[in-house]
Structure formats: C-alpha cells, structure tokens
Amino acid sequence: MYKIIDTHSHLFVEEFDEDRAEVMNRAREAGVQRILMPNIDLGTVEPMLRVCAEYPGFCNPMLGLHPTEVTADYRQGLSELKQVLKSNPQTFVAIGEVGLDLYWDKTYKSEQLAVLEEQIGWALEYDLPLVIHSREAFPELYTLFCHYKDTPIRGIFHSFTGTADEAHSLLEFPGFMLGVNGVVTFKKSTLPEALRGVPLTRLVVETDSPYLAPTPYRGKRNESAYIVRVVEKLAEIYSCSPETVAEQTYTNATNLFRLS
C-alpha cells in the first residue's frame, strides 16, 4: 500500500455531508496518511475546523482568503481571518488557499494583489507555507513573487496546469513545490509534457476534492482516495514505480509543511 499525503482537499464542504466517514475510510484504505484542507473565506473556517477536529492527526487546516472571494470591501473579512490566525496560529499548517484568479473577472485585480501581498506577510510572520491558487494570472503572479526571492517564503503552486516554461520559471523559487492533481490524467492534458523537466523532488500530489476527479472518475465527485490515480500517472511520466512517487511526494510534503 502506498503512503500518500493529499495536500489539497475540501472534504469539509456539503458535498460530503452524507458520507464523509466513508470517504475518510476509503482514503485511509488507499494509503492516504494525511489530508490538508484549505478554507475559502471566513464562512468556511468553522466547518473546516470542525471536520479537522473530528479527524485529529489525519486532517489539518489551512487559513486564507481565496482570490475569487475578494471584493472591494475585502478589508473587514481579511481582518477577521487574521484574528483567527493570530488567536491560534499553531492550529494551521499553511496560509491558503490564496492567490490570483483573473479567469472569471478582472474587476478586483488590484484588490486581489493587495490581499495576496498581505497574506504573504502572514506566511512570513508566522513561518507558514503558502498554498497558491493561480488562474489566468501567471505573469502577475510571477512578477509579484520575484519581489520575495530573498525571503524564506515557501509553499505550493496549487493545481499546476501550466507550460514547461512556466514550470521552469516557478522552479526559480526554491521553497516552492508544484501541486499536481487529477488534471494530469486527462486525455488531452499537456501537463505530462510540461512536467518532464521538473524534478520529482519539487512535486506534491493533491486532489482538490470534490473537484477535478482523475480519469476514470472524471465528471464525478472527487475524493482523497482517488489520489492513487495521480500517483500512478506520475509514475508513468517519470518512468519509476508508484511507490517511488508516493514516497518522494510524501517526503516533500512532510518537509514543506513540517509535519511530525
């Protein structure tokens, strides 16, 4: 059996309310040792923490404001999230899910950048990794992160689906990993080619449950047990055993998040 860390899963959302215990059991049976959970906004903190409390040592929470939740009046919500972090920083394993999303709407681009910079500050202040969401925003993200090259910043570029050149650029930030999920298994995905120049030591695996279910579950609700399909596809790409992929990505995640 593999030994895997799902570094990004939203198992606290309502899609799992009817069978969450079974989902957790299937994850354990598949070899998942830990599930790391990012919230989205202030309203998702409580359900996330409740689920993590039900599965201590198996589920660990992050904290952040997702870019698609950023509006003109973001300040109050961001301030309240900071108070949650400040009151109990040891609860959270990362600042996430944060970043830039210019796919749906560019209206609040400047606000998204301001929110991301503030949360980068949290990561540096509390010595926590960042879990970065980026969609249709690579140039802006890369330019911003270049300002932090001389800091101890670390984290994951979550759900990486970019080009080989973009992967190469992101590897310039030595504290960061690329997060790979079910997209790598899709028939028309260009991700396998983009990853060929990326060392396995710079990857972690994730599901982004309930989204982005891998083949052959595509179009269905995703869950952490399906991460095995991601591991097996990476083994094919890297011409090694699934056990090798599982072991290396487990080590990468353990070191990045400083998990005991």
E strands, 84-174, are: 95-101, 130-135, 155-157
User: What is the rounded CA–CA span in Å between residue 105 and residue 135?
Assistant: 11
Which two tokens mark 42? 């202030």
Which two tokens mark 47? 């359900």
pLDDT tens column, 41-81: 999 999 999 999 999 999 999 999 999 999 999 999 999 99
User: What is the rounded CA–CA span in Å between residue 92 and residue 224?
Assistant: 20
- Dihedral Cα 32, 46, 18, 24, nearest 10 deg: 10
- Percentage of the chain beyond pLDDT 70 is 100
What's the angle, vertex CA 222, arms to CA 219 and CA 228, rounded to 5? 115
pLDDT at 260: 81
Taking only Cα atoms into account, the Rg of the chain, rounded to an integer number of angstroms, comes to 17
Nearest to residue 111, comparing CAs of 98, 123, 122?
Answer: 98
Nearest to residue 58, comparing CAs of 13, 25, 18, 96?
Answer: 25
pLDDT tens column, 88-99: 999 999 999 999
E strands, 94-250, are: 95-101, 130-135, 155-157, 176-180, 203-205
pLDDT at 1: 78
**Where do the domains of the chain lie, and which CATH numbers do they carry?**
4-257 (3.20.20.140)
pLDDT tens column, 221-252: 999 999 999 999 999 999 999 999 999 999 99
User: What is the rounded CA–CA span in Å between residue 106 and residue 28?
Assistant: 40
